[in-house]
Structures are given as C-alpha cells and as structure tokens.
C-alpha cells in the first residue's frame, strides 16, 4: 500500500529566488514527501529564470520534485524534466494536444506526468479518466473548491492517482486523504506547519504515511552502565565522521519522532537537540545498529559545523598519517574537475586545459570525438592497459566539455541516480 504523501507547493511567481530555495530546503529537511514548484507565466524570460531556479532547487533537495511551467511543445516539456525534476505538471489545456502528451509520456513515463485541473472541470468532464489513460497520464492534481457528492462519487471511482490541491483552511486533511484514490495533499499552508507532527498525527489515525519507525525497540540495545548508547554521526553524502555522542531512550525516541538528532548530555545530564542554539541542526537520513547492538551509526544532513569549535568534524586533530594513494573514484574525478574549473577561472600560461578553453567548443568537441575513436581502437586490442589510458583521456576531455557547457559531476550523478 503506497504512502499518503504531504506535498508542499511553491508558486515562484513574484518570489525572490533565495526565499524559494530556503523554503524548498526547509520542506525537504523537515519531512515533506515531494515538492511541487511551479510558475505558469507565458513570458519567455520569466520561464527561463524559473527553469534555472528549478534546477538549483532540484540539486539542493533530496525529495522528488514536480515542476510546472508553461509550455506547448515537446522541447518545453523536455527542458522542464531536464531541471532534474521527477515529474512535470501540465495544465488541462494541453489535453487538446494529445499527440504532444503521448510523446512526452513515452519519453519520460506516464507515472511522471501530472495533470492540473480544477474541481468543477474535473466533475464536468465525462471521460477524463479515459482521456488521461489513452494519452499516458497517471496522475491528476485537482484544485479542490468545496464538498460535493458528485465529486465524492467520481473520485472514488478513479483508476488514476489523485492529489488534492487545497488551502486546508476549512477542509479536514483526514477526510481528503480518506479517498482511496487520493495519494497526497498539496498546499502552501505547510510553510506554517510542522510536517512531521502532521504525519505522526495521521499515522496515529491509521493513515499509511512515511514516518520514521525503528525496526528494534530501544530495550534491545546493549547500553553502558549509565543506560546510554554511543552514536557515531556521519555526513550522509561525503561519509565524513562528524562526531561521537550518546543517547538515552528519550533521545532515541525523540530522534525517531522528530527526524532531527537528539542526544543525551552526560555533563549536563539532560536531553539536547543538536543545533538548537547554533542552528547547526542534524537531520536524520539513516540510523543503523552495529553487530553487537551496542553502538549506533547515524547518517545525517547537517546545516553547519558539527563541532563546537567551528570545525566541520570533531575529529580534526591529526595524530598519525601515512602517505597513501587515494582510490575513491568519485573524489578523484571531483578533484580533476576542480582543477579544470580552476584553470577556466584562473588561466595558467602553458596549460593544455587553457589551450582547449581558448580554442573553444569546436576544438573541445573535436578532441572528445578523437578520444572516443581511440577508445574503440584500443578496445579491439586484447591488452587492457591501452584501453584504460584512452578512457582516462576521454574522461578528462569530457570534463573539459562539461565545464565549458556549465555542467558538473553532480549534474551527471544526479541524472544517473534519477534513472534507477
């Protein structure tokens, strides 16, 4: 049974980009299941700015993003998806162009197309479900207006996934989520609400919502003589170990319920929320227990330094270090890309990278083509050493091309992750 989703929406028209980004990150960190970001302005420059903003938001949040913007061509739809969005929101006026929507559905998947329609149009449309299914639309977002028996009857028969768009000023969220076909609620009211608290209340009322649930009771952990368990806290993206602290049962339960890291202070003998005074909140991504059940590993997103000294990690004092060859593929690629970007921003005389940038896109493309050909030739050779060398050459030139065109490794890894 799928989760009932809480989906905040942000209409970016007239909003400052920094405010939109701040709000989007807040939603992502504090329990939203998806984010709906839209601006249906027909002005071309406004649309370009919106797509740039959507791309920034997609990179900064780790919940699925639905993007809605004006468009009446396949290229418009494609560009909306290329922001990094999981889905796109289209207006019901596009139903008059079924071939366009069929093309988009075949390319990006029917489950990733969302139709925006108001309640009365939805009620008046006799064949809305058949039309959506024939085109390739699996989701409808209905702008809710008022209770209606006709609406109730029609929505209960829906073969499609329904999301209700409502201000929730006079509506009961439990009633709206009670429809079997309704998979989520979208609203801008969540900006003023504690989303995790809403979801826990829904969970208590029997709704299947996505909240943290521990697979083991705290009583099954092996505690020290003070009734505490040590917690190693790690950055969920980089893998960097940030700190070591302790939890008692209350701290563990609050962490599970709230989605933020709570610890027990041995010196103050009290519970503390990490970042409560500094603002450097740690949001839970994963909690794991070691094989002896006496140590927790927390993978978190942190809003700032984890150490009270201002260092990112508490483990900043180096005691012993041996020179060794690092072999982490992603970090090596990132280091190479960083050097390429440094050459682009700070040209160095005699640099081959700067020679390529100076010659421009045609020269860079020519080198990429040449190196791709060298890979094909080397692959026919039974010895792998030459192939390894040529692939490294190609990857370097490919990263120069990425830098020239305004892409970085995160753009590529995000795109690959979205395809899983």
Those residues whose C-beta lies under 8 Å from the C-beta of residue 14, and which sit 6 or more positions away, are none
DSSP for 356-373? Answer: HHHH-HHHHHHHHHHHHH
The separation between CA 341 and the C-alpha centre of its own chain, rounded to angstroms, equals 25
CATH top class, domain 5-204: alpha beta
In this structure, are strands 87-91 and 65-69 parallel, antiparallel, or unpaired? parallel
Residue 235: its H or E element:
strand 229-235
Instruction: Report how far residue 207's alpha carbon sits from residue 200's, in angstroms, rounded to the nearest whole number.
Output: 9
Least confidently predicted of 186-195, 379-388, 395-404:
379-388
Predicted local confidence at residue 1, as pLDDT: 62
Strand arrangement of the beta sheet that strand 282-289 belongs to? 241-247, 229-235, 296-302, 282-289
Over residues 365-390, mean pLDDT: 90
The answer to whether residues 35 and 64 touch, using CB atoms and an 8 Å cutoff, is yes
Predicted local confidence at residue 33, as pLDDT: 97
How long, in residues, is the chain? Answer: 420
Predicted local confidence at residue 420, as pLDDT: 64
pLDDT 10s digits, 12-65: 999 999 999 999 999 999 999 999 999 999 999 999 999 999 999 999 999 999
pLDDT 10s digits, 162-180: 999 998 886 789 999 999 9
The answer to whether residues 81 and 102 touch, using CB atoms and an 8 Å cutoff, is no
Residue that is written with structure tokens 């829906």 in the block: 158
The 8 Å CB, 24+ separation contacts for 256-265 are 256/212, 256/213, 256/214, 256/287, 257/196, 257/200, 257/212, 258/196, 259/30, 259/31, 259/196, 259/212, 259/283, 259/284, 260/284, 261/231, 261/233, 261/298, 261/300, 263/231, 264/228
Residue 367 has pLDDT above 70, yes or no: yes
Compute the mean pLDDT over every residue in the chain, rounded to the nearest whole number: 93
**Nearest C-alpha neighbor of 5 from the set 194, 202, 285:** 202
Predicted local confidence at residue 19, as pLDDT: 96
The separation between CA 238 and the C-alpha centre of its own chain, rounded to angstroms, equals 16
Tokens encoding 8:
């905040």
Domain positions in the chain are: 5-204, 218-302, 329-418
**Alpha-helical segments (H) within 137-181:** 149-156, 173-177
413 pLDDT tier (thresholds 50, 70, 90) = confident
Instruction: Report how far residue 152's alpha carbon sits from residue 123's, in angstroms, rounded to the nearest whole number.
Output: 10
pLDDT 10s digits, 298-324: 999 999 999 999 999 999 998 988 877
Tokens encoding 402:
């990425």
Those residues whose C-beta lies under 8 Å from the C-beta of residue 88, and which sit 6 or more positions away, are 66, 67, 68, 77, 80, 81, 104, 108, 112, 113, 114
pTM for this entry = 0.85
**Alpha-helical segments (H) within 326-408:** 329-345, 352-359, 361-379, 384-405
Name the CATH architecture for the domain at 329-418.
Answer: Orthogonal Bundle (1.10)
Tokens encoding 110:
């029917």
**Nearest C-alpha neighbor of 40 from the set 6, 64, 78, 10:** 10
pLDDT 10s digits, 75-114: 999 999 999 999 999 999 999 999 999 999 999 999 999 9
The C-alpha R_g of the chain, in whole angstroms, comes to: 26
Residue 329 has pLDDT above 70, yes or no: yes
- 10 Å Cβ neighbour count for 116? 21
Those residues whose C-beta lies under 8 Å from the C-beta of residue 199, and which sit 6 or more positions away, are 6, 31, 209, 210, 211
Instruction: Report how far residue 40's alpha carbon sits from residue 96's, in angstroms, rounded to the nearest whole number.
Output: 18
pLDDT 10s digits, 342-354: 999 999 999 999 9
SS3 123: helix
Taking the domain 218-302, which CATH number applies? Answer: 3.10.20.810
Instruction: Report how far residue 101's alpha carbon sits from residue 136's, in angstroms, rounded to the nearest whole number.
Output: 7
């Amino acid at each position: 049974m799928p989760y009932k989703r809480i989906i905040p929406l942000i209409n970016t028209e007239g909003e400052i980009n920094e405010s939109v980004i701040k709000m989007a990150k807040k939603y992502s960190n504090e329990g939203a299941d998806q984010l709906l970001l839209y601006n249906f302005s027909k002005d071309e420059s406004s649309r370009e700015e919106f797509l740039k903003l959507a791309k920034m938001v997609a990179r900064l949040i780790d919940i699925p993003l639905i993007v809605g913007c004006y468009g009446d061509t396949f290229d418009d739809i494609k560009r909306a998806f290329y922001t990094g969005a999981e889905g796109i929101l289209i207006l019901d006026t596009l139903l008059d162009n079924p071939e366009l929507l069929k093309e988009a559905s075949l390319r990006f998947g029917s489950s990733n197309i969302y139709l925006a329609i108001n309640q009365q149009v939805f009620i008046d449309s006799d064949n809305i479900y058949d039309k959506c299914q024939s085109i390739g639309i699996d989701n409808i977002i209905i702008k809710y207006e008022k209770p209606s028996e006709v609406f109730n009857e029609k929505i209960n028969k829906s073969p499609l996934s329904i999301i209700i768009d409502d201000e929730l000023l006079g509506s009961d969220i439990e009633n709206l989520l009670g429809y079997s076909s309704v998979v989520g609620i979208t609203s801008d009211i969540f900006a003023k609400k504690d989303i995790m608290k809403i979801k826990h209340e829904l969970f208590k009322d029997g709704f299947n919502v996505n909240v943290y649930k521990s697979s083991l009771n705290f009583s099954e952990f092996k505690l020290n003589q003070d009734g505490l368990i040590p917690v190693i806290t790690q950055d969920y993206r980089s893998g960097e170990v940030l700190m070591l602290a302790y939890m008692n049962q209350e701290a563990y339960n609050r962490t599970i319920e709230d989605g933020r890291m709570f610890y027990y202070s041995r010196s103050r003998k009290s519970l503390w929320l990490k970042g409560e005074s500094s603002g450097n909140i740690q949001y839970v991504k994963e909690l794991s227990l070691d094989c002896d059940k006496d140590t927790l590993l927390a993978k978190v997103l942190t809003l700032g330094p984890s150490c009270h000294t201002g260092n990112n990690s508490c483990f900043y004092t180096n005691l012993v270090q041996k020179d060794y060859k690092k072999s982490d593929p992603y970090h090596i690629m990132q280091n190479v890309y960083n050097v390429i970007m440094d050459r682009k921003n700070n040209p160095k005389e005699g640099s081959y990278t700067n020679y390529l940038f100076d010659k421009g896109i045609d020269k860079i493309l020519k080198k990429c083509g040449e190196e791709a050909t060298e890979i094909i030739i080397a692959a026919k050779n039974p010895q792998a050493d030459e192939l390894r060398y040529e692939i490294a050459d190609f990857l370097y030139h490919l990263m120069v091309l990425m830098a020239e065109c305004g892409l970085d490794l995160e753009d590529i890894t995000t795109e690959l992750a979205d395809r899983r």
